[in-house]
Amino acid sequence: GLVDAAGVLVHRAQRPTPDGDAETVWETAASLLAEVRAASDGGHRAVGVASAGPVDIPAGTVSPINVAEWRRFPIVDRVADATGLPV
């Protein structure tokens, strides 16, 4: 979702987690990022990520137990590359 500076939800987007490999799951996540960015006024300064754990903050990876395809997935780098914003 997209929140404003006060933390108010401005836009919400969600999709079911697809079956497939890590890149298939990432493509769905990337489409959500694109949708949320398109719904914004363009004034975003950073991106936050919420994920089931475990989360390795120093490594910037997630290994959600409910998404086997994403073991040690480099979510921080992928989101930063996709958005050009700090994560």
- Helix 22-39, helix 75-83: angle, nearest 10: 40
Please report the pLDDT score of residue 1 as a whole number.
79
Q: Kindly give the pairing relationship between strand 61-62 and strand 9-11.
A: unpaired
Domains in the chain: boundaries: 2-83
pLDDT, one tens digit per residue, over 46-63 is: 888 888 899 999 999 999
Please report the pLDDT score of residue 73 as a whole number.
96
pTM to 2 decimal places: 0.83
Residues lower than pLDDT 70 in the chain: none
